[in-house]
Amino acid sequence: MKGLRKLKKMNIETFCHLIRQADTIALLTHENPDIDGLACMLSFLLVHPQKKILPLVEKIPETAYFLHGKENLKLFTDFPQDKPLEVDLIVVFDAQCDKRIPREAKNWLKPRAVLIFDHHQREDCASFLGLSPLFLIQPEEPSTTALFYKFLVEAKYEITPEVAENLLAGIYYDTGGFRYENVKGDIFLIVHKLIELGARPYYITQALFENTPLEHIEVLKLILSRLELLKNGTVALSYLKAEDIQRLGGEKALNDFASFLRSFKGVKVSALLKEVREGEIKVSLRSKAPFEILPLAQRYGGGGHKYACGFTIKKKDLFVFWEEFKEILKDFL
C-alpha cells in the first residue's frame, strides 16, 4: 500500500525464516496484558493455522472478549511447571525486556530463539531469557498492532477479516480512539486498509468503550475519592491499596485509570500508585504533550512511551512512598 513507512527488509526475511523453521512457538506479551499485545498474539495465531502455537498470558482481561481467537489463549496456571518447557521459538509482542513479561515465563519457558515486535522506546536489555533476541522495534508506530500489520503485509501473509479486526482493535486501543499524541504518520492509511479488509470500527468502539464492567466503576469511585491535585491542579494522582485491588476483582479490574486522570482540565501529569501485592507498588504515569514523563519512569527502571509509561518498585509502605512521590512529581514538573 502506497504511503506506508517500510520495515527493514533484512529483519522481515530473518523473522520469516525463523518462524517457518520453528515447530513449536510460544507467544508472550507483557504483564497485565492489554488489547494491543493480545490482538497481536491472536493475529499471529490466526495467520499460522498449521503451526503448533501456545499463546500464553497471566490473565485474560474481560475487555478482550471480542477479539477473534480469544478462546485459544492459555493461562500459565493451566500447565504444570515442575519442569521447563522447551520451545523452538518465543515471539514477544509489546515488550522488549524479560522484566516486562510474567514471572512464570521466566522460570518455565526454555526457547532456542526469541523474536520481539514492539513500539516502545528502546530499553537497555542485556538478554531475553538468557538469549540474544532479534528485534523489530519502531517507537514511531502508534501501536505494536500497526507494526505487526506492516510485517504481515511485507511478508505477504493473507489478512482475513478476523485478523484485520484484531489489528484495528489494537490500534484503536493504543491510540485512545486516535486521541493520543502517537497518532501521526501513516496510521489512517493502515486503518483505511483494515476496514477494506473487513474490520468493523463500530463493533470495536462499542466493545472497548461502551462495555465497562461494573467493578471498573467501583475502582474508579475509589480512585476519585482519593484524588489529590498538586501544583495548582497541574498534577493529578491517586492510589489503590492491595486490599482494594483484591476486594474489587484483582488486577484485571485495573483499567487505564491513569489516562482518565490525565484527561482533567489543567492537568499536565497524572499518576496512579497501585499496591499490587504487599511490598510491591506499580506506578502508571501519563502526561500531556509536549511534557514528557518517560524520564521519570526510567529513573526507577521503568519504561514505555514519552507520554504514557510506568515502573514497579519494591516498597514496604505504600503511604510513605506516596508522600515521597508527591514531592518528586512536584519537582519534576
Using CA atoms, how far apart are residues 149 and 137, in angstroms rounded to an integer?
13
Tell me the average pLDDT of the chain. 91
R_g over Cα of the chain: 20
Using CA atoms, how far apart are residues 101 and 304, in angstroms rounded to an integer?
14
CA 70 to the chain's CA centroid: 16
Which three three-digit cell numbers place residue 222? 475509589
Using CA atoms, how far apart are residues 200 and 26, in angstroms rounded to an integer?
29
Whether the domain at 9-209 and the domain at 215-332 fall into the same CATH topology: no
Runs of H (alpha helix) within 157-196:
161-174, 187-196
Amino acid at 35: I
The CATH fold of domain 215-332: Diaminopimelate Epimerase; Chain A, domain 1 (3.10.310)
Using CA atoms, how far apart are residues 8 and 154, in angstroms rounded to an integer?
10
Asked if 220 contacts 259 with a C-beta cutoff of 8 angstroms, the reply is no
pLDDT by residue for the chain (333 residues), tens only, comes to 555 666 666 578 999 999 999 999 999 999 889 999 999 999 999 999 999 999 999 989 888 999 999 999 999 999 988 899 999 999 999 999 998 899 889 889 999 999 999 999 888 887 899 999 999 999 989 999 999 999 999 999 999 999 999 999 999 999 989 988 889 879 999 999 999 999 999 999 999 888 877 888 888 999 999 999 999 999 999 999 999 888 876 665 566 789 899 999 999 999 999 998 889 999 999 999 899 999 999 999 998 888 989 999 999 999 999 999 999 999 887
Burial of 195: CB neighbours in 10 Å, binned 0-12, 13-18, 19+: middle
Phi, psi of 89 (to 5 degrees): -150, 140
Using CA atoms, how far apart are residues 273 and 321, in angstroms rounded to an integer?
9
The pTM assigned to this predicted structure is 0.83
Domain boundaries, the chain: 9-209, 215-332
Architecture of domain 9-209: Alpha-Beta Complex (3.90)
Q: HSE, CB side, 13 Å, CA atoms: give it for residue 185.
A: 17
End-to-end CA distance of the chain: 42
